Chain A
Amino acid sequence: MNPDIAGREFPPAAPYLVGREKVREFARAVFSDNPINHDPEAAIAAGYTDIVAPPTFPIVVQERTLAQLLAEPDAGIDFTRVVHGDQRFTYTRPIVAGDELTARLTVTNVKSLGGHSMVTSESTIVDAAGKHVVTATSTLVVRGDE
């Protein structure tokens, strides 16, 4: 892949409106039966405006920016050879239903290791007021020819 994409900033992805049923669906998929993820009354009692998304939900919003990276014509990333190496979320606050989130990706590092390439990117996710919610950092490993 192309090492020159290190440092590249992508335009913000289209805003993502967090739906209540989507949060519930995602919560069920990660085996959460915690009322804060399902029951608005429980979430409001805990001080939130609506049900709270599980901690890995930002991947759904980040995914739109990773799609931009994989589709970048001069990046040279073969999607069929991509493996997820590591993942990190750094939170200012949890995502709640009703949030309108916008994610913007920056490529922070590209390196080669034993025929494989590793690309690390940071997607900064902000709410409708422009305030930081969470930063999602991924390293994708692009396997070389074997």
Chain B
Amino acid sequence: MSELTVGDIVAERDFHLTRDSLVRYAGASGDFNPIHYRDDVATSVGLPGVLAHGMLTMGIAAQPVIDWLGDPARVVDYQVRFTRPVLVDATDGALVRVVAKVGAVDEDSARIDLTVTFEDETVLGKAQLRIRA
């Protein structure tokens, strides 16, 4: 994968999440935890408000990389750590920014590192895709 250079940005995209996005993801994934759509439940368990599903953030974060790669079969591994919640305001939603950079390259594979931010703070740790040539 000699055409890639460590540090190169291969893809980036902004996602505007709204409460509608969370309801849609709840239905699609089957994760109906009410902290993702009810403020009263979220605040009753000590959260500042309704949060995006961590798996929704993980899901959107891979998308720019898949679109850049063309073939999803080139992804052999995808991992993230959930480090900070994405608060989704009822009116304004939340803007999530994804930047994908080449983290490491060898002959037949590469590691793509994702920086996923909300309000200028990263929300995923060790967010990496391993891809093959």
Whether B78 lies near A85 (C-beta < 8 A) is no
Nearest A-chain residue to B54, judged by Cβ:
A84
Contact partners of A88 in chain B: CB under 8 A:
77-80
Q: How far is the CB of A111 from chain B (nearest CB, A)?
A: 16
- Asked if A49 CB lies within 8 Å of chain B CBs, one says no
Whether A89 lies near B79 (C-beta < 8 A) is yes
Q: List 7 A-B contacts (CB under 8 A).
A: A22-B28, A29-B29, A30-B28, A46-B70, A55-B62, A87-B79, A89-B77
Bound together, the chains give a CA A83 to CA B27 distance in angstroms of 20
Contact partners of A25 in chain B: CB under 8 A:
27-28
Contact partners of B24 in chain A: CB under 8 A:
28-29
Bound together, the chains give a CA A46 to CA B69 distance in angstroms of 12
A-B contacts at CB below 8 angstroms, number: 96
Q: How far is the CB of B53 from chain A (nearest CB, A)?
A: 9
Nearest A-chain residue to B85, judged by Cβ:
A83
Known: A56-B55, A84-B82, A88-B77. 14 other contacts (CB 8 A): A26-B29, A29-B29, A36-B71, A54-B62, A54-B63, A54-B72, A63-B30, A86-B79, A86-B81, A87-B55, A89-B77, A93-B73, A94-B72, A137-B79
Nearest B-chain residue to A24, judged by Cβ:
B28
A residues contacting B by CB (< 8 A) are 22, 25-26, 28-32, 34, 36, 46, 52, 54-56, 59-60, 63, 80, 83-91, 93-94, 137
Shortest 6 CB-CB distances between A and B: which pairs? Answer: A30-B59, A29-B28, A88-B79, A56-B59, A86-B81, A29-B25
Bound together, the chains give a CA A31 to CA B64 distance in angstroms of 10
Contact partners of B70 in chain A: CB under 8 A:
46
Whether A55 lies near B28 (C-beta < 8 A) is no
The answer to whether residues A59 and B82 also contact, given A46-B71, A87-B54 and a CB cut-off of 8 A, is no
Bound together, the chains give a CA A56 to CA B71 distance in angstroms of 15
Chain B 57-102 residues near chain A, CB threshold 8 A: 58-60, 62-63, 66-67, 70-73, 75-82
Contact partners of A28 in chain B: CB under 8 A:
24, 28
Whether A84 lies near B55 (C-beta < 8 A) is yes
Q: How far is the CB of A62 from chain B (nearest CB, A)?
A: 10
Nearest A-chain residue to B55, judged by Cβ:
A59
In this complex, which of B15, B60, B63 has the most chain A Cβ atoms within 10 angstroms of its Cβ? B63
Nearest B-chain residue to A94, judged by Cβ:
B72
- Asked if B31 CB lies within 8 Å of chain A CBs, one says yes
In this complex, which of A25, A63, A87, A137 has the most chain B Cβ atoms within 10 angstroms of its Cβ? A87
Nearest B-chain residue to A80, judged by Cβ:
B45
Q: How far is the CB of B36 from chain A (nearest CB, A)?
A: 12
Contact partners of A86 in chain B: CB under 8 A:
79-82, 126
